[in-house]
């Protein structure tokens, strides 16, 4: 505990608890709101999975943005704290990416008839997932903390730059050479407030959960680092 107290970054503070508990509460409320939302007129009850899918996908991209931000911050300031937060953002982000992919596939099966479709957003998320798996592997492979932080920052920055480019390229790849050009994604736009409000609640809840988990992971990482030094 001496160590934990000596570094403010490794203290489990009230804000983390608050964010986490609000997130859990919001997720429960959001789940019930989602389950009581009216069925979509085209897709029926299947559309309810979007209350899970959209927030997780949103978190996946928030994770990539957070990792980019903290990686740049690390390279500029060279403080180990930024590296730990970047790693936490990726690690928690990977879970949300996996959930987004999974829920996307579960939705695609009854709607499009296949589990996987080369839809630009789905494909970009899969590419992003692969990039961040690489990020975690690189972190695992390097022993020296400073070298690890630098290499990880490089991977995170190049990976985040890749998001818009690969999204555009997959979009063109699909559209320029395709016999069928029905945009399957337009069905996703929801305007009805009965669906929009639970969606926003879920979005807020997942954002809180994400931020809380990243903070928690950062604190754990700080304690691990302190223990290694001791």
Partner 1 sequence: MGRILWLAWRDLTLELRGRTGLLSAVFFLAVMLLILAMAFGPAPQDLRKAAPGALWVALAFAGSLLAGRAFGLEVEDGTLDDLLLTPGGREWIYFGKLLFQLTLLTLVGLVLLLLAGGLFYLPLQQAGWLLAVLLLGALGYAAVSTFYAGMLARLRGREVLLPLLLFPLVVPVVLAAVRFTQGLAEGLPVTELLDWLRLLMVFDAIYVAACAMLFPLILEG
CB of 75 to partner 1, least distance (A): 5
* Distance of alpha carbon 41 from alpha carbon 51, whole angstroms: 16
Among 150, 204, 207, 223, binds partner 1 (CB under 8 A): 150
CB atoms within 10 A of CB 97: 25
Residues 6+ positions from 152 with CB-CB distance below 8 Å? 71, 83, 86, 87, 135, 138, 139
Neighbours of 218 (CB within 10 A): 25
Q: Which of 24, 29, 73, 138 binds partner 1 (CB under 8 A)?
A: 138
The residues with which 86 forms a beta bridge, in sequence order, are none
Which segment (46-54, 141-149, 193-201, 219-227) binds partner 1 by CB under 8 A?
141-149
Q: Is 176 in the site for partner 1 (CB under 8 A)?
A: yes
Could you tell me the smallest distance in angstroms from the CB atom of residue 103 to partner 1?
21
Which CB atom, from 11 or from 121, has the smaller least distance to partner 1? Answer: 121
33 in Cβ contact with 198 (< 8 Å):
yes
User: Which region among 4-12, 136-144, 180-188, 190-198 touches partner 1 (by CB under 8 A)?
Assistant: 136-144
Which residues have CB under 8 Å from 122's CB, separation 6+?
101, 104, 108, 116
25 binds partner 1 per the rule CB under 8 A: no
Select from 230, 229, 223, 215 the least CA-distant residue to 7: 223
**Residues 15, 25, 35, 130: which binds partner 1 (CB under 8 A)?**
130
Q: Is 196 in the site for partner 1 (CB under 8 A)?
A: no
Q: Is 80 in the site for partner 1 (CB under 8 A)?
A: no
Cα–Cα distance, 60 to 97 (Å, whole number): 5
The residues of the shown chain that bind partner 1, judged by CB under 8 A, are 75, 127, 130-131, 133-134, 137-138, 141-142, 147, 150-151, 153-155, 157-159, 161-162, 165-166, 168-170, 172-173, 176-177
């Amino acid at each position: 505990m001496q160590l934990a107290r000596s570094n403010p970054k490794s203290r489990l503070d009230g804000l983390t608890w608050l964010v986490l508990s609000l997130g859990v509460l919001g997720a429960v409320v959001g789940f019930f709101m989602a389950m009581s939302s009216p069925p979509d007129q085209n897709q029926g009850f299947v559309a309810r999975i979007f209350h899970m899918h959209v927030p997780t996908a949103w978190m996946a991209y928030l994770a990539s943005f957070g990792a980019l931000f903290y990686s740049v911050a690390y390279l500029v300031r060279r403080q180990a704290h930024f590296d730990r937060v970047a790693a936490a953002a990726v690690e928690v982000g990977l879970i949300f990416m996996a959930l987004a992919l999974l829920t996307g596939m579960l939705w695609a099966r009854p709607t499009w008839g296949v589990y996987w479709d080369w839809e630009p957003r789905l494909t970009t998320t899969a590419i992003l997932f692969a990039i961040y798996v690489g990020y975690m592997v690189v972190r695992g492979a390097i022993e020296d903390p400073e070298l690890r932080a630098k290499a990880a920052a490089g991977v995170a920055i190049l990976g985040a730059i890749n998001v818009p480019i690969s999204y555009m390229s997959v979009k063109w790849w699909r559209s320029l050479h395709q016999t069928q050009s029905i945009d399957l994604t337009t069905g996703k736009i929801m305007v009805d407030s009965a669906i929009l409000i639970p969606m926003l609640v879920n979005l807020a809840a997942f954002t809180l959960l994400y931020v809380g988990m990243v903070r928690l992971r950062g604190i754990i990482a700080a304690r691990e680092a302190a223990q290694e030094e001791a």
